[in-house]
Structure 1
Amino acid sequence: MTDSPAVRIPLDPKEQPILDSLLSIRTNLELLKQDRSTYVKSEDVIRLYNEVMEQVEILNALRTTRRLEQNRVDTVLDDCFQLLSLSYLTIGKNHEAPAVYSAVSTIKRLLDHLKEATFYSPKDLESIGARLEDSRRYCDRGKESYSPHLLTLLNARIDVCQQTLAELQLNLSHLTPELTPKWDKLVSILRSLSACNTRSKFPNAEVDDFLEQLKEISEELRPYGIAAYESTGTKEEKVAEMMEKMQLTLEHPEPAPEAKTLLETLLQRCFIWAVTIKEKQGNIAVPFKETYDKLLGIKNQLEKLLLTQAWSLRETDLYSYQRQLDRIDESRVDGNFLDGLGRPAALYEQRTLLYLLRKSYATIYQLIISSEPVSEALLPIYNQLTTLRKCLLDVKKAGGISSPRELYPYSMKLNSIDNMRVDGKFMVGTDIPDGQGSVTQLLEECFELSYELRMDAEESSAEGKSGNDSDSVDGPLK
């Protein structure tokens, strides 16, 4: 069983029946996600959602004076909401309020980690901000369809995320348009260095290349009065080098103190991290090796899912990864990973483990936001049409076809998919899975592309024939 990590306090006896019901619902949700013999059906998910909301109403009635209490009921309830949210993605109801829960929970983790790390790019925040706006819109649209208890919970979580997002945006607002690209490049290099550090074979040459890039950026920032000591000499030599750089005549207006501090800190951190990982060569201290191996395994598995998502991912599979990461994240004390004796990790182990943790959460977020609004029952058809569309677009970009005959394989496949519809619907047995509109729209787009290619080929053929006839007429007159 995979409970959410949380502080446990004594359970009110009156809440025991609620806990028992939620445990039963959670078990049913887990069985639903594990059953690969059939696809997840909408009616099963909606039934379990209604059962959860019944327990929420009972719980809220009991806690009229204890709104902030957190005990095992809340951890199991969170499990149920996570599973329900991922199940809504699995059945193609991506734009419904319950589907928001998992995405917002992951966003909350990401934002907390970005705030803790103090380095991130504006693009990170743009993506998260857009997703939060979508989530708010889905909640507003669901006011007539879903329980106010759920909507209140979701809106409160979105509010917390947007507050943290605003703080992070304010932190980067001091960067000028000239300095922002350099900041983005430094963030990219720092992340790339961390990625190098977790490879099975340490890439010395690649790290050396990043060091050279850092030196180039450092030189580019010197005219702004921004410097970082990258020498490998003594402390006195580093200070002297830094003072020498700061005495240079500035070629650009000195940026705001906040922006200057941001860039100097990040530049310095990049240099230190590059030197540190070259010294360590990926060797993790024994007390933290088990955690490292576990996080690395999770990261690698999630990245494989990212590559094969369209064909192999059932969104509910993400639940177990979320819970494993949550338990590791919650085990930190004051942000530190501790060994068996309660001692905090050294800087190298700390940053390496945090990179793996954050990268895994970021991959889960990417998998969630790229989930297609189509039931897994229709995914095989949807994926085939997506591939067909890509092939037809590639043919069009390559200059089209010389003869309509070249379209026969595409036309046969499109017709065979179109013939699967019953009264305009793609049926699975007697069920009409969600995502009909998305699949039908994609099918129509493929037919339209095929038609355009055929018309272009026929026009080219007609023009060629006309040109040949003209040549044969003009020939004797010359």
Structure 2
Amino acid sequence: MTDSPAVRIPLDPKEQPILDSLLSVRTKLELLKQDRSTYVKSQDVLDLYEKVVEQVVILNEIRTTKRLEQNRVDTVLDDCFQLISLAYMTVGKNHEAPAVYSFLSTAKRLLDHLKEATFYSPKDLESIGGRLQDCRRYISRGKESYSPHLLTLLDARLELCEKTLAELELTLSLLTPDLSPKYDKLVSILRSLSACNTRSKFPNAEVDEYLEQLKQLQEELREYGIHAFESTGTKEEKLAEMTEKLQIAMAHPEPAPEAKKLIETLLQRCFVWVALAKSKQGRISPAFQDTYDKLLGIKNKLEKISLTQAWSLRETDLWSFQRQLDRVDEARVDGNFLDLLGRPAEIYEQRTLLYLLRKSYATIYHLIVSSEPVSEALLPIYNQLTTLRKCLLDVKKLGGVSSPRELYPYSMKLNSIDNMRVDGKFMVGNEIPDGQGSVTQLLEECFELAYELRNEAEENESGE
């Protein structure tokens, strides 16, 4: 059962056969990703890709006069493209045009969230910007191999991402070189405070440490004429006033505030966030507890996957997480999380839930970006070579070996892997999985490191 957002627009009877076909393809893709008894084969993915493109061609012919139509067909079509995109990565075709689809979907979510949050790090933009340039190259390279219908769709999504990225870069361009490090520090503190709210036990001491860092930054920023707003009255009255001002600022953000105003607002938000966090102590309103538990569970599962990614991740596994997150994200109204009675969340619940949502999207982004262009059929060999390379580099860093005999275990393992090749290729059954170049390059690098270490050891023995 898919967890895609529900679309209620009536379906054109002419589109029913398309929907049926796409549902069939999606079912096959889901079965393909769930079957752990064998590796995902390139040909199976290519066949299903061709079937989806056939339906896109028919759909475009029907919608000649209604290009902006969005109904259940589009939702299921998006599911199919997402699964195919992740399946392309699973078989090692990371640099092919269809693999770009899933990345662009996740990047678009992240960019929209950064724009909504107003505050973000230059590193966030650098990472996404570099990958978008790669996507542009992959799409351009795929013009001879893939359907123009797919390429047009990818190009449109890429342009949207590039436009949002340019807007975000414009805001940060207003920061002066001496203010940029202080801004980055404030962004880091804001995110760290949000993380504190999701711990099983609220870390009061850690939050107090962040508060001290904020006070120090506030003193440093005074010379630039930047300071957090002041308030009089009791502690509760101060918090209420600060929260009210912050909510007003969030409801009416400036399109590109000047550097001083940008940092001043961020400093204010950090102080409010410390006060709110200490008063709430990690307690979420019962009306939003279910949403909180769901998002926290997704975040924890994704972080667990990221720790063992090289050995356990099948990229298609990310699809179910993407869909669950999309459903939560698209259920928001005007950016607000609503309870069962349609009431918006208070600022504490709102910011905490947004942190979990954005953190999960960011982890999916990291997992996609970190995916190696190697078929899962070759991953066991690739991972072994990666470990061997790391060990050999560590040995070299520590001064090498005292005798060539110490390299025997490494040489034996490298030779055993090398002997697995048939006519220079790593075969799995009768298939030649994608990623041969990456695995071969890694194998050669390991042999070269071992050769260098052996030569150094022999020279040392001769000298003695």
Q: Distance in 2 between matches of 1:411 and 1:32?
A: 37
2:101 paired with 1:94 = no
Percent of aligned positions that are identical: 82
Q: Post-superposition shift, 1:60? A: 0.5
Q: Distance in 2 between matches of 1:410 and 1:227?
A: 59
Q: Post-superposition shift, 1:2? A: 1.3
Alpha carbons 1:29, 1:83 under 8 Å: kept: yes
**Which residue in the other structure is 2:37 paired with?**
37
2:347 paired with 1:328 = no
SS of match in other structure, 2:74: helix
SS of match in other structure, 2:52: helix
Q: Distance in 2 between matches of 1:25 and 1:162?
A: 31
**Which residue identity does 2:135 align to in structure 1?**
S
Q: Distance in 2 between matches of 1:145 and 1:285?
A: 52
**Greater Rg over alpha carbons, structure:** 1
Q: Distance in 2 between matches of 1:7 and 1:25?
A: 19
Q: Summarize the alignment of residues 331-370 of structure 1 with structure 2, pairs less than 5 Å apart.
A: 331-370=331-370
Q: Distance in 2 between matches of 1:218 and 1:92?
A: 49
1:232–1:83 distance in 2 versus 1, CA, 3 Å:
farther
Give unpaired runs (5+ residues) of structure 1.
243-255, 465-478
Q: Distance in 2 between matches of 1:386 and 1:157?
A: 34
SS of match in other structure, 2:434: coil
1:438–1:275 distance in 2 versus 1, CA, 3 Å:
same
**Which residue identity does 1:460 align to in structure 2?**
N
**Which residue in the other structure is 1:447 paired with?**
447
SS of match in other structure, 1:142: helix
SS of match in other structure, 2:308: helix
Q: Distance in 2 between matches of 1:179 and 1:61?
A: 54
2:407 paired with 1:411 = no
Q: Distance in 2 between matches of 1:54 and 1:61?
A: 11
Q: Distance in 2 between matches of 1:436 and 1:373?
A: 9
After superposition, what is the alpha-carbon deviation per residue over 1:346-384, rounded to whole angstroms, capped at 9, x for unaligned? 010000000000000000000000000000000000000
1:308–1:257 distance in 2 versus 1, CA, 3 Å:
closer
Q: Distance in 2 between matches of 1:297 and 1:179?
A: 37
**Which residue in the other structure is 1:250 paired with?**
none
Q: Summarize the alignment of residues 13-412 of structure 1 with structure 2, pairs less than 5 Å apart.
A: 13-229=13-229, 234=234, 258-412=258-412
Would you say how many aligned residue pairs link Structure 1 and Structure 2? 449
Q: Distance in 2 between matches of 1:423 and 1:233?
A: 81
Runs of 4+ in 1 over 4 A off after TM superposition: 230-235
Alpha carbons 1:230, 1:268 under 8 Å: kept: no
**Which residue identity does 1:15 align to in structure 2?**
E
**Which residue in the other structure is 1:469 paired with?**
none
Q: Post-superposition shift, 1:4? A: 2.5
SS of match in other structure, 2:365: helix
**Which residue identity does 2:349 align to in structure 1?**
E
Q: Distance in 2 between matches of 1:31 and 1:190?
A: 41
Q: Post-superposition shift, 1:230? A: 7.0
Give unpaired runs (5+ residues) of structure 2.
243-255
**Which residue identity does 1:18 align to in structure 2?**
I
**Which residue identity does 1:447 align to in structure 2?**
F
2:5 paired with 1:5 = yes
- Cα RMSD of the aligned pairs, angstroms, is 1.7
**Which residue identity does 2:353 align to in structure 1?**
L
1:378–1:412 distance in 2 versus 1, CA, 3 Å:
same
Q: Distance in 1 between matches of 2:90 and 2:65?
A: 37
SS of match in other structure, 1:344: coil
1:123–1:191 distance in 2 versus 1, CA, 3 Å:
same
Q: Distance in 1 between matches of 2:411 and 2:151?
A: 46
Q: Distance in 2 between matches of 1:233 and 1:391?
A: 62
After superposition, what is the alpha-carbon deviation per residue over 1:105-129, rounded to whole angstroms, capped at 9, x for unaligned? 0000001100110010111001011
Q: Distance in 2 between matches of 1:444 and 1:40?
A: 27
Q: TM-score, normalised by structure 2?
A: 0.95
**Which residue identity does 1:55 align to in structure 2?**
Q
Alpha carbons 2:7, 2:75 under 8 Å: kept: no
Q: Distance in 2 between matches of 1:342 and 1:233?
A: 33
After superposition, what is the alpha-carbon deviation per residue over 1:230-276, rounded to whole angstroms, capped at 9, x for unaligned? 778559x98xxx9xxxxxxxxxxxxx971011000000100110111
**Which residue identity does 1:117 align to in structure 2?**
A
SS of match in other structure, 1:132: helix
Q: Post-superposition shift, 1:6? A: 4.7
Alpha carbons 1:11, 1:71 under 8 Å: kept: yes
Q: Post-superposition shift, 1:8? A: 2.1
After superposition, what is the alpha-carbon deviation per residue over 1:133-190, rounded to whole angstroms, capped at 9, x for unaligned? 1111000000000000000000000000100111111111110010001111100111
1:230–1:41 distance in 2 versus 1, CA, 3 Å:
farther
Q: Post-superposition shift, 1:196? A: 1.0
**Which residue identity does 1:431 align to in structure 2?**
E
SS of match in other structure, 1:177: coil
Q: Distance in 2 between matches of 1:154 and 1:358?
A: 23
Q: Distance in 1 between matches of 2:10 and 2:176?
A: 53
Alpha carbons 2:3, 2:324 under 8 Å: kept: no
Q: Post-superposition shift, 1:315? A: 0.2
Q: Distance in 2 between matches of 1:17 and 1:295?
A: 36
Q: Post-superposition shift, 1:388? A: 0.2
